[in-house]
Chains A and B, each alone.
Chain A
């Protein structure tokens, strides 16, 4: 299957500061991909590059096989997006805002405006100026403009920000529907881990501009257990394990706490033995939730 979004070694440097550091990523039709990372990790910057608001300093972005830097219009017509807050024209009504975007995209009918308005539950308030809207209502209108042209790719930066629990539930269900029934490729960003866990099929963890890990949501929550090794020269051993397997791990005294599945234990033991380390204990350390894992990976617990 061809990826809907393809990032190839994408970097972004602003004022000599590397903000995004060589990210490579494929996102496929029909999946919901979560970009997870703490504040300032580079989620919004990555999204800005995918939607063409910022140019890449290095690397390429392909949308439905089209190179964004070369055929901008052909790439962008597949994308619907909300970047950070959904800022709209306050002095125009909700409907006028949608008409504004409708005129910028080929083949969107007036009926479609009614359809998306109903879809996001804004039919009653659509003729009011956006200046009167609450944050959640703006968020809904933002979603409506992103869905207007039935894009193959939907990109939402912190989509649940400002929504009430019922609204979050609705969005989650609707994104799920789009991915499964309409085969839409969806990227959402968030630092709300619990939210991501419920919404996404796959998660990429972003930190300091680097994509440090991508994995199926299942790997994070169910398959992935934590295993604790007690070894000699723990920090050196940890370094070798990290290098060989790329696991997220934490070192404490002579213990190494690794997020990994049980079936990978023999491989690790083999590595340690051949590396000349003495193994004193190997024991299960419990199941890690996404939150724990996230904090371990990003060093948020230290």
Chain B
């Protein structure tokens, strides 16, 4: 098995496309960093870069204005709760213009990365059929199931490598743009009315980890379509269309009860983590179960077709 995985890794790694993808990812991180620092107008955040005490003071000032719309009032009350907590625990909020803010803004780039892993996942079996190399691959004394598994594992290793590239590029370009810092912060947020207080590294692991589950499920979907239909373009197209429209589909059809069993109601785990699930009544447990069920269906479909198919091309 280690030999099989090394083989698949070699085939991914030695392709020209792979290095282009890594370079593109780094370029996008740098571009996002430059844009958010220089091109976009400074966000309308009067509190940025100040101590919790100053924040609270400003909030009080705003509250003293008469005839505030109720929404703003509620927002201010939440802010007050948050900064009282900061004061109580004697911690400082992370400034907006800081390497860690940049890091915490970037999990969206995992979705961009998903495009690359979908391309690799879609091609790993389909490409062998297209080039005819599948024949010399499958006449070895190795069960087909093992070959398929090694291909999936190598695809996931590629995804992990890209995640590592993304994190490294984000931190390094964050340091260059916002100054070097390894100061530890806490991430304090108001989720569903209560305070959530996490160490920075734990929070980072959580958001990137959740973004990565979406990547895993879409990449596995592409892998399955590529395996079953032996067509890389179809697998890439279908996966990316669903990746970018899945949320809309759920949004449009959210009146139906069955929609909560649809995969896309659960793929945006990051949104759920931030306390804004796509659908009401969707719990983390339900999401986990549904994501796992879809994962096993995809895996089983790929496995059944691949291990039984007559290879005739």
Hey, which bits of chain A sit against chain B, CB under 8 A? 14, 48, 51-55, 72-77, 79, 81-92, 96, 100-101, 103-106, 142, 145
Contacts and interface: CB of A to CB of B under 8 A. Distances in A.
Contact of B312 (A54, A87, A105): A54
Given A75-B141, A84-B135, 5 more contacts: A73-B142, A96-B14, A101-B136, A104-B141, A105-B141
Given A48-B312, A53-B310, A104-B7, A77 B141 contact: yes
Contacts of A88: 133, 136
Interface in B136-185: 136-143
A172 B137 CA distance: 26
B131 A103 contact: no
A142 B139 CA distance: 13
A77 B140 CA distance: 7
A83 B131 contact: no
B140 A48 contact: no
Most buried by B among A53, A74, A75: A53
Contacts of B135: 53, 83-84, 87
Q: Which of A87, A90, A142 is packed against the most chain B CB atoms within 10 Å? A: A87
B139 A81 contact: yes
A73 B7 CA distance: 19
Nearest to A85: B132
Contacts of A103: 3-4, 6-7
B3 A104 contact: yes
User: How would you classify the secondary structure of chain A's contact residues: helix, strand, loop or mixed?
Assistant: loop
A60 B103 CA distance: 61
A96 B88 CA distance: 62
B89 interface: no
Contacts, number: 80
A75 B10 CA distance: 28
Given A54-B312, A100-B7, A89 B131 contact: yes
B283 to A, nearest CB: 45
A53 B15 CA distance: 26
Contact of A53 (B138, B142, B143): B138
A14 B309 CA distance: 12
Interface in B16-33: 16
Contacts of B141: 72-77, 104-106
A91 B16 contact: yes
B14 A51 contact: no
20 contacts: A48-B310, A48-B312, A53-B139, A72-B143, A81-B139, A82-B136, A83-B135, A84-B135, A87-B136, A89-B131, A90-B131, A91-B16, A100-B7, A100-B11, A101-B140, A103-B4, A103-B7, A104-B141, A105-B140, A106-B141
Interface of B: 3-4, 6-7, 10-11, 14-16, 131-133, 135-143, 308, 310-312
A104 B142 contact: yes
B163 to A, nearest CB: 25
A73 B145 CA distance: 12
B11 A104 contact: no
Q: Which A-B residue pairs are the 8 nearest by beta carbons? A: A87-B132, A103-B3, A77-B141, A104-B140, A76-B141, A53-B311, A54-B310, A51-B139
A154 B112 CA distance: 48
Contact of A100 (B10, B16, B138, B312): B10
A145 B136 contact: yes
Contacts of B131: 87, 89-90
Contacts of B310: 14, 48, 53-55
A94 to B, nearest CB: 13
Q: Which of B10, B11, B137, B140 counts the most A-chain CB atoms under 10 A from its CB?
A: B140
Contacts of A54: 310-312
A145 B133 CA distance: 13
A87 B139 contact: no
Nearest to A44: B312
Contacts of A77: 141
Contact of A104 (B4, B14, B311): B4
Nearest to B135: A83
Nearest to A12: B310
Given A53-B310, A55-B310, A92-B14, A76 B133 contact: no
B133 A52 contact: no
Which of B131, B135, B139 has the largest number of chain A CB atoms within 10 A?
B139
Contacts of B142: 73, 104
A142 B6 CA distance: 21
A146 to B, nearest CB: 9
A62 to B, nearest CB: 16
A289 B188 CA distance: 91
Nearest to A55: B310
Contacts of B6: 103
Contact of B133 (A82, A87, A105): A87
A79 B140 CA distance: 8
A238 to B, nearest CB: 38
B275 to A, nearest CB: 47
A101 B3 CA distance: 10
A104 B140 CA distance: 7
Contact of B138 (A52, A96, A142): A52
